[in-house]
């Protein structure tokens, strides 16, 4: 019973503790006020521009601590928030709107920590403040829109193939019905559709309706569409967030129809919701001035035209054909008309849009062109109690509402080209929001916010300080108790407990796992539970001493016999923690993470480390009495 | 220092009838309360909107209520949160057009008497507002927290929460059956179900809010209580092999007594930190800490009084606990 560790056991202890302390260290330095400059819409910040920015804050009065450039963008650290704000204004006037400039807090640890990827823990939004959104993409809406497009495609395809039909329409429950003029065209129609539109599948001829062809989207086409809509929406959301100027935003898909958006530091959730959730776009159409508006309103509109409404409720007759839409817009900026004082949006078109614009406006000088504003809102169908209604496959049913308003319908005075302006907007805010949405691109399918968790800056700060206090006080109480109860062995356990805390912080920092408030509670709980292993061992040693064993033998047997109990007890707790992790959303996941990490690190500190300390103190010599 | 000067010889198993009655009464009270009063589910499960704001000065809850009712939210519940400067507004899930916008509209309504709109705020600072007069300064109404949970999310969470509980119990059942014996697995799970029922029952009787963190705490309690139970079972297993004589009841009594000081010690340190969380962890963590407090107390009790009797009732015997003949490791221990 020598109770000594070999060199390799010490190597393991040192090999865990030293990196543990190193990776935990960056957390001690706190934050500096900083500015992040990122390229928006996929463009990276060039080193030339980086140097220009650095020159702006070169003089010592600007309070710059350090500037760095990496693949994500540039970071500037400042000594005071005042210096940070001043620099932001300079950056904004220098770079105009080519890049996203955001205020943020940056770790104040020396740069060489970062170069060895030692970063402080990643704090969750409930600790640093900010908005968390969970958004659901209305895939049924996307499929509906796709089918509507196929109705138009089918008409033209059948026309080119000389298959005459009485009508092509979309069924309200999904699918497309084509009614043929002659029954004998059935085969020809089927052949044409299958050849020209491979994404459609046809069902067999129905009994009693030999003149009908039933088509629907193939499952593959639907899956592709869903995938595309989700990816496209994520891109559009990213672009929109870039416009908001948020540091370290998170946009992630979750499952096959949901997107998580996290905006640290954002407080104005009203604006964020307005901008993220909307699917606004524009379509340009010509006003039908050949037909009489009144008779169209009372009777039926002439073929090729449709009734729309202006914002003030007046009807207007527009030609069905869309000249070009929001997809052709490459840039949009909101401003105020110097003459009228009203809000305007200046629009720049891409080459195709500009060509169409030139041709159509050139031919129609003196006539009117309408700007149609289209927004799709999707909403869950609920029953009287506000509970969601379920469809046949257990999916939540939705209704989507398409809002179409003619913003303005001015007379074309001149041939238009690449640029033009839109008037008739309600407010400056609307102009800014519309410009932003046109710039960022439209959403492929409507989205809806189904969960929001916002934490204000003061609560985030309070959560940090309360969490920190709980850890310190809980830790202190346990330390005092263990020392009183076990004396020298209590001190060993306390060293292990302290290093356990360090290791937990290090693991959280290295993996950049999100630390949430429940996560902090998990740390506190671990502090109380981590001593369990030591209690088991020490009680066992006392027992063995009571049985008349020598101190050295008691230490040896105490550790050995308590081992299987500790492992069993910890593995079962780990099972509960892992289930929690799988079930968890956001904050709860944070709790499961710290709990799991704590279980693993505490097994190391409570068994391996305390044994080392005990061996160092008592091992290899004659001991008459243990201070336990 | 020692709590128990000598190894105690308390007849825990002899009091299993009494313990069974006490537990049964507690569980029945809980279940009746669940049936009659139900659980005060938080918006995490029901769906709805929650807004927490703080004022610079003391504010009348009734005037805030009027303000919100005027904005069209008559069903809103307005109450103080911690102090009379902090207000919590709750709204059940509703079928309104844009449910996600409700919180924004409530904030606008709350700010309207001060004629201010939010401009900007940096992390860690108070929110800055612009008053209609044009002056800017810190907002009189500070938004602290907004939570909106759509009805479908709440429904999913309820389902997933129940499933999580089941999976945790199932995982434990399998692990304990493998490491010990099926009677012990059922005994452990019986103790856990006992703990969960009583903890949830306490929440129902006291009308405390059952939120997502509370559910997490209950899962943590499952882990904790199991920890305790396993330690006792481990000793029972060891003593079955060590003590040549003695009925299962005697062996269990000795085992519980031998591990008693450890059980009390660990419960004490855990209670120390749980009480710390409860007193200074802040309002948000309150329900979580309460569930832990109840769970740790009940979990300690159940590992002593419930787990072992359950194994006994299932008919444990020495034969069942003798080492199974295995190749290798255990083979040399056999005669």
d(Cα B303, Cα A600) in Å, to the nearest integer? 23
Q: Given a cut of 80, is residue A577 above it in pLDDT?
A: yes
Among B47, B100, B222, select the one facing A449 at the smallest CB separation.
B100
- In tens, the pLDDT along A406-449 reads 888 888 888 888 888 888 787 888 888 888 878 877 777 888 88
Of residues A591 and A375, the one with the higher pLDDT is A591
- Buried b vs exposed e over B232-261: b needs ≥16 C-beta within 10 Å? bbbbbbbbbeeeeeeebbebbbbbbbbbbb
d(Cα A36, Cα A38) in Å, to the nearest integer? 6
Whether B268 contacts chain A with CB within 8 A: yes
CA–CA distances in Å: residue B247 to residues B236, B260, B316, B317: 12, 20, 10, 8
Substitution target in B88, B89, B94, B122 with the highest count of A β-carbons within 10 Å is: B122
Answer whether A387 sits within 8 Å of B151, measured CB to CB: yes
* Cβ neighbours of B47 in A, within 8 Å: 386
Do A12 and A100 lie in one domain? The reply is no
Q: What is the CATH number of the domain that holds A188?
A: 3.30.1360
Find out whether A536 and A566 touch, Cβ atoms under 8 Å.
yes
pLDDT (0 to 100) of residue B216? 85
- In tens, the pLDDT along A385-412 reads 656 676 655 566 666 677 888 888 888 8
pLDDT (0 to 100) of residue B193? 93
Contacts 24+ apart (CB under 8 A), B265-268: B265/A485, B265/A535, B265/A539, B265/B3, B266/A529, B266/A531, B266/A532, B266/A535, B266/B227, B266/B228, B267/B228, B267/B296, B267/B297, B267/B300, B268/A481
CA–CA distances in Å: residue A237 to residues A263, A277, B258: 12, 9, 62
Do A384 and A402 lie in one domain? The reply is yes
Do A44 and A147 lie in one domain? The reply is no
DSSP character string of B73-126: -TT-EEEEESEEEEEEEEEE----TTGGGHHHHHHHHHHGGGTEEEEE--TTSP
Among B108, B122, B167, select the one facing A81 at the smallest CB separation.
B122
B13-42+152-322 shares its CATH topology with B48-149: no
- In tens, the pLDDT along A156-212 reads 888 888 888 888 888 877 888 888 888 888 888 888 888 888 888 888 777 777 888
Give the start-to-end residue ranges of the domains of chain B: 13-42+152-322, 48-149
pLDDT (0 to 100) of residue A587? 67
Q: Given a cut of 90, is residue A613 above it in pLDDT?
A: yes
Do A65 and A158 lie in one domain? The reply is no
Q: Given a cut of 80, is residue B136 above it in pLDDT?
A: no
CATH code of the domain made up of B13-42+152-322: 1.20.1640.10
User: Considering the domain boundaries, does residue A130 fall inside one?
Assistant: no
Distance from CA of A364 to the nearest CA of B (A): 41
Query: Chains A and B: how many Cβ contacts under 8 Å?
Result: 279
DSSP character string of B161-204: HHHHHHHHHHHHHHHHHHHS-HHHHHHHHHHHHHHHHHHHHHHH
The model's confidence at residue B316, banded by pLDDT at 50, 70 and 90, is confident
Which two three-digit tokens encode residue A493? 């356990």
Do A309 and A403 lie in one domain? The reply is yes
Q: What is the mean pLDDT of residues A130-144?
A: 86
**The listed CATH number (3.30.70.260, 1.10.10.10, 3.30.70.3400, 3.40.50.720) that belongs to domain B48-149:** 3.30.70.3400
d(Cα A247, Cα A249) in Å, to the nearest integer? 6
Identify the DSSP state of A245: T
**What radius of gyration, in Å, describes the C-alpha atoms of chain B?**
26
ipTM of the predicted structure?
0.87
Q: What is the mean pLDDT of residues A19-48?
A: 85
Do A211 and A101 lie in one domain? The reply is no
- In tens, the pLDDT along A113-128 reads 888 889 999 988 888 8
| Residue A468 burial (10 A CB sphere; 0-12, 13-18, 19+) | exposed
pLDDT (0 to 100) of residue A49? 85
The number of distinct structural domains making up chain A is 4
Whether B93 contacts chain A with CB within 8 A: yes
Do A448 and A480 lie in one domain? The reply is no
Do A469 and A320 lie in one domain? The reply is no
Q: What does the mean pLDDT of chain A come to?
A: 85
* Cβ neighbours of B54 in A, within 8 Å: 458
The model's confidence at residue B194, banded by pLDDT at 50, 70 and 90, is very high
Out of A41-50, A575-584, B11-20, least confident range: A41-50
Identify which of A460, A369, A476 has the alpha carbon closest to the alpha carbon of residue A412: A369
Q: Given a cut of 70, is residue A378 above it in pLDDT?
A: no
Among B155, B262, B292, select the one facing A535 at the smallest CB separation.
B262
User: Considering the domain boundaries, does residue A471 fall inside one?
Assistant: yes
Q: What is the CATH number of the domain that holds A384?
A: 3.30.1360.200
pLDDT (0 to 100) of residue B329? 43
* Cβ neighbours of A592 in B, within 8 Å: 216
Do A523 and A489 lie in one domain? The reply is yes
Q: Given a cut of 70, is residue A131 above it in pLDDT?
A: yes
Which two three-digit tokens encode residue B319? 């034969």
What is the bridge-based pairing of β-strands B40-41 and B209-210?
A: parallel
Do A495 and A383 lie in one domain? The reply is no
Whether B313 contacts chain A with CB within 8 A: no
As a whole-number percent, the residues of chain A with pLDDT over 90 amount to 21
Out of B32-41, B71-80, B88-97, least confident range: B88-97
User: Considering the domain boundaries, does residue A252 fall inside one?
Assistant: no
Answer whether B150 sits within 8 Å of A382, measured CB to CB: no
Q: What is the CATH number of the domain that holds A471?
A: 1.20.1640.10
Which two three-digit tokens encode residue B6? 């000598």
Answer whether B269 sits within 8 Å of A478, measured CB to CB: yes
Distance from CA of B15 to the nearest CA of A (A): 25
d(Cα B230, Cα B308) in Å, to the nearest integer? 11
Q: Which domain covers residue A104, as residue numbers?
A: 31-108
Do A463 and A447 lie in one domain? The reply is no
Do A320 and A448 lie in one domain? The reply is yes
Answer whether A455 sits within 8 Å of B144, measured CB to CB: yes
User: Considering the domain boundaries, does residue A270 fall inside one?
Assistant: no
Identify which of A467, A590, A481, A526 has the alpha carbon closest to the alpha carbon of residue B292: A526
Identify which of A336, A435, A414 has the alpha carbon closest to the alpha carbon of residue A369: A414
Q: What is the CATH number of the domain that holds A88?
A: 3.30.70.100
- In tens, the pLDDT along A537-554 reads 999 999 999 889 999 999
């Amino acid at each position: 019973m020598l109770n000594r560790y070999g060199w390799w056991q010490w190597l393991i202890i040192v090999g865990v503790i030293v990196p543990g302390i190193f990776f935990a260290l960056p957390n001690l330095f706190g934050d500096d006020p900083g500015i992040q400059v990122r390229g928006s819409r996929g463009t990276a910040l060039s080193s030339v521009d980086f140097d220009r920015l650095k020159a702006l804050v070169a003089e010592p009065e600007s309070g710059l601590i350090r500037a760095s450039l990496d693949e994500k963008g540039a970071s500037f650290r400042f000594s005071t928030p005042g210096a940070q704000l001043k620099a932001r204004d300079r950056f904004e006037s220098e770079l105009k709107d080519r890049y996203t400039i955001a205020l943020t807090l940056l770790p104040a640890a020396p740069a060489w920590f970062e170069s060895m990827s030692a970063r402080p823990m990643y704090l969750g939004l409930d600790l640093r403040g900010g908005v968390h959104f969970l958004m659901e993409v209305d895939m049924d809406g996307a499929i509906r829109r796709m089918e509507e497009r196929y109705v138009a495609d089918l008409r033209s395809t059948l026309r080119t193939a000389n298959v005459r039909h009485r009508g092509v329409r979309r069924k309200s429950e999904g699918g497309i019905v084509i009614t043929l003029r002659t029954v004998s065209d059935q085969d020809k129609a089927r052949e044409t559709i299958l050849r020209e539109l491979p994404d459609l599948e046809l069902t067999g001829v129905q009994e009693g309706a030999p003149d009908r062809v039933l088509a629907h989207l193939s499952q593959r086409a639907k899956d592709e569409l869903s995938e595309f809509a989700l990816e496209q929406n994520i891109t559009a959301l990213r672009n929109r967030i870039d416009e908001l100027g948020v540091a370290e935003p998170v946009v992630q898909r979750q499952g096959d129809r949901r997107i998580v958006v996290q905006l640290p530091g954002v407080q104005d959730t009203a604006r964020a919701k307005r901008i993220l959730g909307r699917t606004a776009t524009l379509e340009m159409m010509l006003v039908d001035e050949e037909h009489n508006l009144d008779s169209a309103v009372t009777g039926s509109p002439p073929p090729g035209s449709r009734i729309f409404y202006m914002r003030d409720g007046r009807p207007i007759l527009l030609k069905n054909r869309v000249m070009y839409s929001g997809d052709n817009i490459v840039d949009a900026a909101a401003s105020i008309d110097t003459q009228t004082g009203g809000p305007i949006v200046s629009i720049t078109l891409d080459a195709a849009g500009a060509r169409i614009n030139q041709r159509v406006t050139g031919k129609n000088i003196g006539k009117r062109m309408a700007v149609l504003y289209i927004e799709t809102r999707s909403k869950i169908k609920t029953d009287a109690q506000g509970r969601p209604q379920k469809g046949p496959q257990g999916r939540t049913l939705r209704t989507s509402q398409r809002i179409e308003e003619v913003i303005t319908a001015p007379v074309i005075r001149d041939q238009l080209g690449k640029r033009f302006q839109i008037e008739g907007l309600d407010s400056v805010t609307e102009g800014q929001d519309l410009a932003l949405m046109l710039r960022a691109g439209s959403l492929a399918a409507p989205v809806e916010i189904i969960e929001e968790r916002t934490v204000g800056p003061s609560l985030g700060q309070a959560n940090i300080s309360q969490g920190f206090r709980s850890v310190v006080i809980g830790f202190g109480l346990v330390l005092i108790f263990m020392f009183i109860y076990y004396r020298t062995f209590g001190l060993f356990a306390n060293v292990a407990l302290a290093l356990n805390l360090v290791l937990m912080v290090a693991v959280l920092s290295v993996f950049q796992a999100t630390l949430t408030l429940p996560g902090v509670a998990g740390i506190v709980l671990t502090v109380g539970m981590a001593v369990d292993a030591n209690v088991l061992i020490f009680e066992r040693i006392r027992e063995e001493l009571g049985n008349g064993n020598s101190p050295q033998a008691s230490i040896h047997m105490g550790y050995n016999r308590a081992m299987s109990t500790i492992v069993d007890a910890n593995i079962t707790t780990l099972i509960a923690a892992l289930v929690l992790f799988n079930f968890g959303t956001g904050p709860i996941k944070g709790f499961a993470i710290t709990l799991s990490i704590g279980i693993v690190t505490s097994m190391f500190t409570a068994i391996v480390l305390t044994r080392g300390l005990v061996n160092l103190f008592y091992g290899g010599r004659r001991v008459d009495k243990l201070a336990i | 220092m020692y709590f128990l000067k000598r190894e105690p010889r308390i007849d825990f198993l002899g009091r299993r009838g009494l313990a069974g009655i006490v537990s049964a009464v507690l569980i029945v009270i809980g279940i009746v309360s669940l049936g009659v009063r139900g659980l005060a589910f938080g918006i995490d499960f029901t769906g709805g909107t929650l807004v927490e704001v703080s004022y610079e000065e003391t504010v009348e809850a009734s005037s805030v209520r009027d303000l919100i009712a005027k904005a069209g939210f008559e069903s809103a519940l307005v109450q103080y949160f911690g102090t009379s400067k902090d207000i919590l507004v709750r709204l059940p899930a509703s079928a309104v057009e844009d449910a996600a916008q409700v919180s924004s509209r409530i904030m606008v309504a709350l700010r309207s008497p001060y004629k201010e709109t939010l401009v900007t705020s940096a992390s860690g600072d108070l929110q800055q507002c612009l008053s209609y007069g044009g002056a800017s300064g810190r907002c009189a109404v500070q938004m602290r927290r907004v939570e909106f949970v759509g009805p479908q999310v709440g429904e999913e969470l309820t389902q997933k929460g129940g499933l999580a509980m089941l999976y945790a119990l199932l995982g434990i059942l399998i692990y304990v059956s493998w490491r010990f014996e099926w009677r012990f697995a059922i005994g452990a799970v019986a103790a856990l179900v006992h703990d969960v029922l009583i903890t949830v029952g306490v929440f129902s009787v006291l009308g405390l809010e059952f939120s997502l963190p509370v559910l997490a705490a209950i899962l943590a309690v499952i882990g904790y209580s199991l920890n305790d139970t396993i330690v006792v079972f481990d000793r029972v297993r060891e003593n079955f092999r060590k003590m040549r004589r003695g009925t299962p009841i005697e062996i269990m009594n000795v085992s519980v007594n031998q591990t008693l000081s450890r059980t009390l010690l660990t419960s004490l340190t855990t209670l120390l930190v749980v009480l710390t969380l409860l007193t200074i962890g802040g309002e948000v963590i309150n329900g979580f800490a309460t569930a832990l407090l109840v769970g740790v107390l009940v979990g300690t009790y159940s590992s002593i009084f419930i787990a072992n009797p359950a194994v006994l009732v299932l008919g444990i015997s020495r034969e069942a606990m003798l080492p199974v003949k295995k190749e290798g490791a255990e083979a040399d221990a056999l005669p």
